[in-house]
Amino acid sequence: MKIIHVINSLATGGAETLVVDLATSMRSLGHDVKIVAIGRTRGVPLDVARARELRVNLLGRSTRDLGALLALRKSLRGADIVHVHLFPSLYLVPLVARGAVLHYTEHSTWNRRRDKRIFRVPDRFAYRKYSRIIAISEGVRKPLQKYLAKLGVHSSVAVVANGIGDAFFSSKLRRHRDVKPPLKLIAVGTLDNRKNFGDAIRAVAQCPLVQLTIVGVGPERDLLQNLIATLHVSDRIRLHGPSDDVAALMDQHHALLSTSRFEGFSLVAAEAMALGLPVIGPDVDGFNESVIDQTTGLLFDQSRGVPDIVETILELQANVGAFAEMSENALEHALKFQIQRAAESYLAIYADSLQD
């Protein structure tokens, strides 16, 4: 099959990383695969794609530029399958794609469009153009299916769990972990409101003998740096910036900490577990499908805020025996999230849609 993945950009992010890994796996399975990135923003996923010599077409256009539609239409010619990720690519591709079968993957449990009536007409138009709609978790599927019903779109939504790259399973860093003071936590993601790193900093500030490294870039960097200074914890909490080798950084820590307000799945959690790191994170739909509470990590009650995060961190720190067991369980559990499994599931969906 000739498959084209379309995404807003190849900036650093979970969906962008997934697209690069899917393209890599699908190519290895014998398919003709290309990635089309509409916007100008670039990040680690683009660097990885180029290192793997994937076919990438960077349109370098604003998603609000009408010229992007012409460039996008040209880039999609000859495809059997066009697989779209994220908004506004959701809207743009149906306007210009001709001849290909369209697929769309929903990556989030919620978006602002669903709360605004003005988006219902364009959402209805766009979703109806897709032969198959896929969610990355059951937590993503349920609210999406409910929203589609409200729109009068009667498509069923399949679930294909996210996959992580083969490097995490072949890595020498994949090993059993033990914990000893100080407990070293790592957090990874875009420094924005959704990732809620402020609560991570406030929580770790209240936990003696706990350190935190935050990996990523984003609009809240200065705000978070000021918070670290205000709480006088620069000796224990640092902003690392971006990294093209997150696995190596994870290897220097005991566990992953996530404080996301919502999460469709959590590639970072799956990556951490593949290396044997237990995960502390929110008990929210999507995230709690990737991390099993009391088995591969500990989940906190997001509604209780920072105090429950503190309590959960201290629980992990105090129970050495449980930590070792979680590390072993994490190594095993992560095998469910190998990228080839995800790629094969998508390929089966593509093949089925071509029979319609």
Q: 47: left (phi > 0), else alpha (psi -120 to 50), else beta?
A: alpha
CA 258 to each of CA 170, 282, 345: distance values in angstroms, whole numbers, following the listed order: 25, 7, 28
Mean pLDDT of the chain: 96
CA angle 202, 179, 256 (to 5 degrees): 45
pLDDT at residue 143 tops 80: yes
> Is the pLDDT at 108 greater than 90, yes or no?
yes
Distance CA 326, CA 188 (A): 20
Q: What pLDDT, on the 0 to 100 scale, is given for residue 129?
A: 98
Are 326 and 297 within 8 A, CB to CB? yes
Question: Which pLDDT does position 39 carry in this prediction?
Answer: 93
The pLDDT score that the predictor gives to residue 1 is: 97
Give the chain's domains with CATH numbers. Answer: 2-163+338-354 (3.40.50.2000), 167-337 (3.40.50.2000)
Q: What is the pLDDT of residues 300-329, one digit of tens each?
A: 999 999 999 999 999 999 999 999 999 999
pLDDT above 80: residue 17: yes
> What is the DSSP secondary structure assignment for residue 291, as one 8-state letter?
S
Residue 7 clears pLDDT 80, i.e. is over it: yes
Digit-coded pLDDT (tens) for 72-85: 999 999 999 999 99
Q: What is the pLDDT of residues 212-255, one digit of tens each?
A: 999 999 999 999 999 999 999 999 999 999 998 999 999 999 99
Picking from 285, 287, 272, the residue whose alpha carbon sits closest to that of residue 326 is: 272
Give the pLDDT confidence score for residue 261 in this predicted structure. Answer: 95
What confidence score (pLDDT) does residue 335 get?
96
Across 254-281, average pLDDT? 97
| Backbone dihedral region for residue 132 (phi beyond 0: left; psi -120 to 50: alpha; all else: beta) | beta
| Amino acid 244: pLDDT | 87
Segment 249-265 mean pLDDT: 96
* CA–centroid distance for 183 within its chain: 25
pLDDT (mean) for 88-95: 97
Determine if the pTM surpasses 0.95: no
What does the DSSP 8-state code read for residue 100? Answer: S
Task: Give the number of residues written for the chain.
Answer: 356
* H-run or E-run covering 324: helix 320-333
What is the arithmetic mean of pLDDT over 94-110?
Answer: 97
pLDDT, residue 62, reads 85
pLDDT given for residue 202 in this prediction = 98
What pLDDT shows up at residue 67? 86
Q: pLDDT tens for residues 155-204?
A: 999 999 999 999 899 889 999 999 999 999 999 999 999 999 999 999 99
Provide φ and ψ at 147, rounded to 5°. -65, -40
- The answer for residues whose C-beta is within 8 angstroms of residue 303's C-beta and 6 or more apart is none
pLDDT, residue 170, reads 85
Q: Please determine, for residue 63, whether its predicted confidence score (pLDDT) is greater than 80.
A: no
